[in-house]
A and B are shown apart, each in its own frame.
Chain A
């Protein structure tokens, strides 16, 4: 998408919606909550969009920075209402999710594992596989080197393959 001309924000919405939604889904593991936080993200994007300037960075960097803040704010608000050990052991709506569809159960299981990682590593995975950003874009967003992003992702995925029982012959 070129930024030389005024952005068509409706197109931006449809382009980014699946990526924002999946980024949030890989962060929170709950489809309903992911919809809520996706809505919050886009309302913020919409409200502030006149301030976006292509000269100050890529559109994806700007939008995903907002999405990251929305997720962080959500956890900050929730933290005061939960005991520390509750978070890792009980996924949001885990039992409900399991009753609905297998795919939703799977993302819940994945996010349960991701939550045991440092926040930054969880972000890496959500940005790579949820938001479908490449390593260079992730590096820009998180202030890391591109090689560092690749190395850390490789290590994380290796661990996930093991704990999730992914076929090692694949």
Chain B
């Protein structure tokens, strides 16, 4: 290309405002400070603080927190759910591979939150992690949970036999920018476990990476939308000393401007989750 032919195209460039440049640099430096403090406090604590659940059980802060609902279930389900929209840097250098793409999201084999946590020294971990309990529940209406979240909750027209709504949660994540998500828990009478649906506006996704660790992935369709079936992803811990990984199966897709993550135990089939997912519609 002739030297002068495109010279005018460079004339539109401009230097960023100095104040803006310095302010952004300071913000990035502040992120480093916060990250270091969070690392020192432990990964689970960091996750729970992001949801405002850290003090749950003591002062009942946060939206739609109902004293009658067992905090252990909420804590665990919340952790399972938010593990999917909180990507964290690996604790050690890893050869991370891209497994799938879903829109702008990249699904990698980087370790999940709990896989990373188990890789840390025991003395560095959060103590007294909760186990799953199954007593009692209370529900609020679709209108109430939608109002709390700021967008309509989606409800399934199909549930496996004996399935029923167990609870809804509207959670708020503050870091790095405030955003909301709805977690819907459905109990299946034939199982001591739940189907958990996390719904959040796509616009509120702040990470373009989903870490699935050792799980296997497969691209499938939910209606006319591409989805990723994820089998045996480690999102929780179990065992007497919380030294064992607990796995779930799940389906992730995006539709109508929302990002959905639907999960069940490792016996939950793709067909069950697909039927549930394809029946979702905005609540009345």
**1/0 per residue B196-212: CB within 8 Å of A?**
00000011000111000
**B28: which A residues are within 8 A, CB to CB?**
13, 42-43, 46
Minimal beta-carbon separation of A92 from chain B (angstroms): 15
Of B10, B27, B208, the contact of A39 (CB 8 Å cutoff): B27
A154 within 8 A of B: yes
Total number of residue pairs linking A and B with CB closer than 8 Å: 96
| Cβ < 8 Å to B, chain A residues 104-163 | 106-107, 110, 125, 128-130, 132, 150, 153-154, 157, 160-161
**With known contacts A38-B24, A153-B1, A46–B13 Cβ distance under 8 A:** no
A50 within 8 A of B: yes
Interface residues on A, range: 35 or more
Whether the Cβ atoms of A160 and B9 lie closer than 8 Å is: yes
Whether the Cβ atoms of A44 and B208 lie closer than 8 Å is: yes
Closest to B104 in A: A69
A170 within 8 A of B: yes
**Residues of B in contact, count (CB < 8 Å):** 36
**B104: which A residues are within 8 A, CB to CB?**
69, 72-73
**With known contacts A129-B10, A150-B1, A35–B209 Cβ distance under 8 A:** no
- Bound: A36/B4 CA distance, A: 33
Whether the Cβ atoms of A43 and B14 lie closer than 8 Å is: no
B162 within 8 A of A: no
**A42: which B residues are within 8 A, CB to CB?**
24, 28
B59 within 8 A of A: no
Closest to A49 in B: B89
**With known contacts A39-B27, A42-B24, A130-B13, A170–B89 Cβ distance under 8 A:** no
**With known contacts A38-B24, A43-B176, A72-B104, A161–B16 Cβ distance under 8 A:** no
**A129: which B residues are within 8 A, CB to CB?**
6, 9-10, 12-13
Top 4 closest pairs, chain A to chain B, by CB: A50-B89, A21-B16, A129-B9, A77-B203
B: residues with CB less than 8 A from A are 1, 4-17, 20-21, 24-25, 27-28, 31-32, 87, 89-90, 96, 104, 110, 176, 202-203, 207-209, 257
A: residues with CB less than 8 A from B are 10, 13-14, 17-18, 21-22, 25-26, 31, 35, 38-39, 42-44, 46-48, 50-51, 66, 69, 72-73, 76-77, 80, 103, 106-107, 110, 125, 128-130, 132, 150, 153-154, 157, 160-161, 164, 166, 170
